[in-house]
Amino acid sequence: MARFTLGVPPRDLELLRKLLNLQDERRTNLWRVLEEAPVGVSTADLASSITAATNLDADVASDIVDMLVTIYITRLRSDISVDDFVNAIVTTALDKDPSFEEETLRDLLRMLLSFNRTLGVTARALSVMDEYEHVLHEARIMTDMRPVFEDDSSTAVAATTIVHSLRLRYYDGTQMKNFFVALDANDLKTISELIERASKKEAELRALMAKSGMPCMATSPTS
């Protein structure tokens, strides 16, 4: 069987170094937060809890949560054992930075991959959310005022009109693509009403899940 290889971004190597350098008490507090976090906790709330428990900078805590969720999702999709996955990360890390202490890093990664009830469920939920052909990355509406001339040969402006252009930036597999569509005032009203209705439906479904005691994952990764 071919050896499983894994890329590790420089930012994640830096974050792993920060975790290795945490004082014992702060590291213990981090493990406690990751162990005791409620199932279905949003990544934003998890990052806030880590900041409160460890005094890490809020941006660093957020980056750590992002890294951990990415590790869990990658592990989930790789379909290999935890030990093989850890070995792949350790091999890559040592290739890029030989100053890492191999067994210490290995122990850290095994510990990070042990929080299946919290991080594992979060990763699975986010992975399910992304199991679509097209996944929205960003939306923007540009608004323009355009002149209307008296006739084709005239340069005199008779009136103006307002037009909107909705741009949806989305992932098609791993490729980023854009979709543009023109909107008028009625279209904006229709979209606004649809969004309001969808938000009410989500609120009702979340309330139903809360009554049943079933955690409902937040759809917002870190905000």
Residue type, 175: Q
Q: Distance between CA 81 and CA 110 in Å, rounded? A: 11
> H or E element: which one contains 183?
strand 175-183
Q: Residue 94 pLDDT more than 70?
A: yes
Neighbours of 39 (CB within 10 A): 13
Q: Look-up: residue for tokens 């920060």?
A: 18
Give 11-33 pLDDT, tens digit per residue: 899 999 999 999 999 999 999 99
Compute the average pLDDT of residues 1-16: 75
Q: Check residue 162 and give its pLDDT.
A: 93
Q: Residue 205 pLDDT more than 80?
A: yes
**Contact predicate 141/166, CB 8 Å:** yes
With bands split at pLDDT 50, 70 and 90, how would you rate the model's confidence at 152? Answer: confident
pTM: 0.62
Positive or negative: CA dihedral 119, 123, 125, 126: positive
Nearest to 110 by CA among 70, 75, 151: 75
Q: Check residue 223 and give its pLDDT.
A: 38
Q: Distance between CA 100 and CA 93 in Å, rounded? A: 7
Q: Check residue 51 and give its pLDDT.
A: 94
Q: Residue 189 pLDDT more than 90?
A: yes
Nearest to 20 by CA among 115, 106, 88: 106
Q: Distance between CA 117 and CA 133 in Å, rounded? A: 28
High-pLDDT (> 70) share of the chain, %: 90
Q: Residue 1 pLDDT more than 50?
A: no
Q: How big is the chain by its Cα radius of gyration, in Å?
A: 24
High-pLDDT (> 90) share of the chain, %: 52
Q: Which residues are CB-neighbours of 89 under 8 A, at least 6 positions away? A: 6, 8, 71, 109
Give 101-127 pLDDT, tens digit per residue: 999 999 999 999 998 888 888 777 766
CA 99 to chain centre: 30
SS3 track for 88-152: HHHHHHHHHCCCCCHHHHHHHHHHHCCCHHHHHHHHHHHHHHCCCCEEEEEEEEEEEEEEEECCC
Compute the average pLDDT of residues 89-105: 93
Residue type, 127: S
